[in-house]
Chains A and B, each alone.
Chain A
Amino acid sequence: MTPSSHSDPVAYINDARASIADLHAALIAPSPDRLLGCLPALTEAAVRLGIVENRLRADSGDSGEIACAVKALKSDLRGVAKLIEHGAGFYRGWARFLGAAAAGYTPSGEAAPLVARGSVVLEG
């Protein structure tokens, strides 16, 4: 996302939508690095939406245009929230699967917790 250089509330909301579009793309073909790479833009979007909210409370501005933009943002957020829920659910299940494969089951029948062993590689 290239952040807006001006302080137009609609531009702020559209910037947030661009960040969400980047996150959406990252969630479709996820890797930890790609997902974590979205965090700065999402944080910036949150800060700017806070500014939009404060400005709206102080001065109505063109609330019709803002309402239209923010509804589109809400729809985008609903989509990525479902992808996050689905993706996180997948890895929770995969973690249980791997935990059971690596260390079996606990006495209560749960899959053993997944532990990643650290490794050191020496070269030279």
Chain B
Amino acid sequence: MGSISSALSIAASALTVFGKTFDTIENNITNANTPGYAEQEQSLQAEAFDPATGLAGGVAAGPLISTREEYLEQGVRDQQQSLGYSTQLAGDLGQVQPLFDLTSTTGVANSLNSFFNTFSQLTVNPNDEVSRQAVITAADTLAQNINQSASGIQQVSANATSETGTVVTQINQLASQIASINQQYQGNSQSTADESLDTDVHNALETLSGLANISVIRSSNGAYNVYLGGQTPLVLGDTVSAISTSNVSSRTAILDSNGNDVTSQITGGQLGALVQETNTTLPGYVNTLNTLAKSLADTVNSTLANGVDENGNAGAALFSYDQASNAASTIAVTGITTDQIAAASATAPGGNDNAVALTGLGTSPEVGGYSFTQFYGNLGAQVGSDVSSAQQDQTQDQDQLTQAQAQRSSVSGVDINTEAAQVLQFEQAYTAVGKLVSVLQDLTTTIIDAVQATTT
């Protein structure tokens, strides 16, 4: 009669196990839209079966198995880093682009043309008071426009520096959150199976990835160790090595917990973009604008100095700028009066020889082998290209993040044989579409060549 009680016992334990399985499924469904949640599976374990010794067999519930795979998580985190970087860069450089609108009727490009046009007008009537005043007015407008462009870039740079501090604070807060979870893992080995903690830590890691390039290594006790730039410890177990930022001579530096400069390791995420902007991209624009302002002022002033004014004196300077500071920020019109403008040459006082020479400066290659207008146009084109490139990267990175998230969802990581078959199918499919896309790219290139051949 032992068999009846055994059978009832087996049935009861089976019902318990299936109840747990349904609980797990219900939990998966409830959390289907929970960010960072990974499905769990209830594993089943066969009970020992040996009628001779009274072991009745049956089924027991094993541990819950998470379908999360760190390889898949890292794939998503990599894309978060790229997207964080390109989004920050596209947003900030997008604020700079309007400062270099080459089609604007009020910007530097237009005022450069207007300025040299006033010298052209002066050649017609070199002693006309109105024409002389027009030169000073146009010079003033040009100087102010250059000042505004420089201050506009510096404002974007100042905002980026401020945001760098905010991002560093967010990184340290997330690091503290991860360290706190690690502490629970280390204190209680059962907590590594806590899906809630698992969800929280992976959400924190994913958010952190959008802020900076990190690498994550899970230790044997379940703790997640996080390294900034792959080298600088940010979280080791339950210990946070907080980073900080400093700004010396307009250069942003990221410092580790010991005060060491680790800026060069920050190449991804929002922080990577902010460092790139404030230390390289924006100073590059300002330097180019400084070159333009300095060259413009020096060239115009030296040409004026070669001539004589209405009173027969050597020409006075039209522009001034602070030699020790940024020329673009400080360029201004001197206190020159209309009679001090040297429109004539020393050999022909009262004439227009020097006004002709000044007009010629508008089209001659005076800076880096380009005219002032061309040089400024090149800078505007560079800014436009940088913005366009960042925006394209942002679109592409968003696509790749969506793709990585889909890949993470599509694999269960539980049944290796099923996964293996699917991976091989994917590899074949990617190879096939990759070959066809390569053919289409070759054809597109030959069509572009053919179009160019027909138009030349």
Residues of A within 8 A of B444 (CB): 49, 70, 73-74, 77
Number of A residues with CB within 8 Å of any CB on chain B: 60
Contact B421 A91 (CB under 8 A): no
Contact B426 A117 (CB under 8 A): no
Q: How far is the CA of A29 from the CA of B403 in the complex (A)?
A: 6
Cβ of A98 under 8 Å from chain B? yes
Contact A42 B436 (CB under 8 A): yes
Residue of B nearest to A96 (CB): B71
Contact B433 A23 (CB under 8 A): yes
Residues of A within 8 A of B69 (CB): 97
Residues of B within 8 A of A13 (CB): 447
Contact A27 B403 (CB under 8 A): yes
Segment among B152-160, B216-224, B394-402 that sits at the interface with chain A: B394-402
Contact B455 A30 (CB under 8 A): no
Residues of A within 8 A of B445 (CB): 74
In chain A, positions 33-81 with a C-beta closer than 8 Å to chain B are: 35-36, 38-39, 42-43, 45-46, 49-50, 52-53, 56-57, 60, 63-64, 66-67, 70-71, 73-74, 77, 79-81
Residues of B within 8 A of A23 (CB): 433, 437
In chain A, positions 77-93 with a C-beta closer than 8 Å to chain B are: 77, 79-88, 90-93
Q: How far is the CA of A119 from the CA of B420 in the complex (A)?
A: 12
Contact check: which of A30, A79, A117 meets B406 at CB < 8 Å? A30
Contact A53 B424 (CB under 8 A): no
Could you name 15 residue pairs across A and B whose Cβ atoms are closer than 8 Å? A32-B426, A35-B432, A36-B433, A42-B433, A42-B440, A46-B443, A49-B447, A53-B450, A79-B395, A83-B400, A88-B430, A91-B426, A91-B430, A94-B411, A117-B420
Contact A36/B443 with A29-B406, A63-B455 known, Cβ cut-off 8 Å? no
CB distance from B374 to the nearest CB of A (A): 25
Cβ of B416 under 8 Å from chain A? yes
Cβ of A102 under 8 Å from chain B? yes
- Secondary structure at the B interface, as helix, strand, loop or mixed, is helix
Contact A56/B429 with A29-B406, A93-B71, A97-B71 known, Cβ cut-off 8 Å? no
Q: How far is the CA of A124 from the CA of B403 in the complex (A)?
A: 40
Residues of A within 8 A of B424 (CB): 95, 114, 116
Residues of B within 8 A of A53 (CB): 443, 446-447, 450
Contact A94 B436 (CB under 8 A): no
Residue of B nearest to A60 (CB): B454
Residues of B within 8 A of A43 (CB): 436
Residue of A nearest to B445 (CB): A74
Cβ of A1 under 8 Å from chain B? no
Contact B448 A115 (CB under 8 A): no
Contact A84 B434 (CB under 8 A): yes
Q: How far is the CA of A46 from the CA of B447 in the complex (A)?
A: 12
Contact A56/B451 with A42-B433, A88-B431 known, Cβ cut-off 8 Å? yes
Residue of B nearest to A37 (CB): B429
Residue of B nearest to A61 (CB): B454
Residues of B within 8 A of A74 (CB): 441, 444-445, 448
Task: Type the 1/0 row for B202-245, where 1 means its CB is closer than 8 Å to any CB of A.
Answer: 00000000000000000000000000000000000000000000
Residues of A within 8 A of B89 (CB): none
Residue of A nearest to B438 (CB): A81
Q: How far is the CA of A110 from the CA of B455 in the complex (A)?
A: 54
Residue of A nearest to B427 (CB): A91
Contact A39 B417 (CB under 8 A): no
Q: How far is the CA of A49 from the CA of B440 in the complex (A)?
A: 8
CB distance from A111 to the nearest CB of B (A): 12
Contact check: which of B402, B417, B430, B436 meets A28 at CB < 8 Å? B402
Residue of A nearest to B432 (CB): A39
CB distance from A20 to the nearest CB of B (A): 8
Contact A77 B437 (CB under 8 A): yes
Contact A80 B437 (CB under 8 A): yes
CB distance from A101 to the nearest CB of B (A): 6
Contact B403 A87 (CB under 8 A): yes
Please name the 3 residue pairs, one residue from A and one from B, whose CB atoms are nearest each other, closest first: A60-B454, A32-B425, A35-B429
Given contacts A27-B399, A67-B451, 17 further A-B contacts (CB under 8 A): A29-B402, A32-B426, A35-B433, A42-B433, A50-B443, A56-B450, A56-B454, A63-B451, A67-B452, A71-B448, A87-B403, A91-B430, A98-B419, A116-B420, A116-B421, A116-B424, A117-B417
Q: Which of A31, A32, A74, A82 has the most CB atoms of chain B within a 10 A radius of its CB?
A: A32
Task: Type the 1/0 row for B377-402, where 1 means its CB is closer than 8 Å to any CB of A.
Answer: 00000000000000000011001101
Contact B450 A57 (CB under 8 A): yes
Cβ of B410 under 8 Å from chain A? yes
Q: How far is the CA of A72 from the CA of B421 in the complex (A)?
A: 37
Cβ of B364 under 8 Å from chain A? no
CB distance from B427 to the nearest CB of A (A): 6
Contact A16 B440 (CB under 8 A): yes
Q: How far is the CA of A79 from the CA of B394 in the complex (A)?
A: 12
Q: How far is the CA of A84 from the CA of B441 in the complex (A)?
A: 13
Q: Which of B72, B419, B433, B434 has the most CB atoms of chain A within a 10 A radius of its CB?
A: B433
Residues of B within 8 A of A114 (CB): 420, 423-424
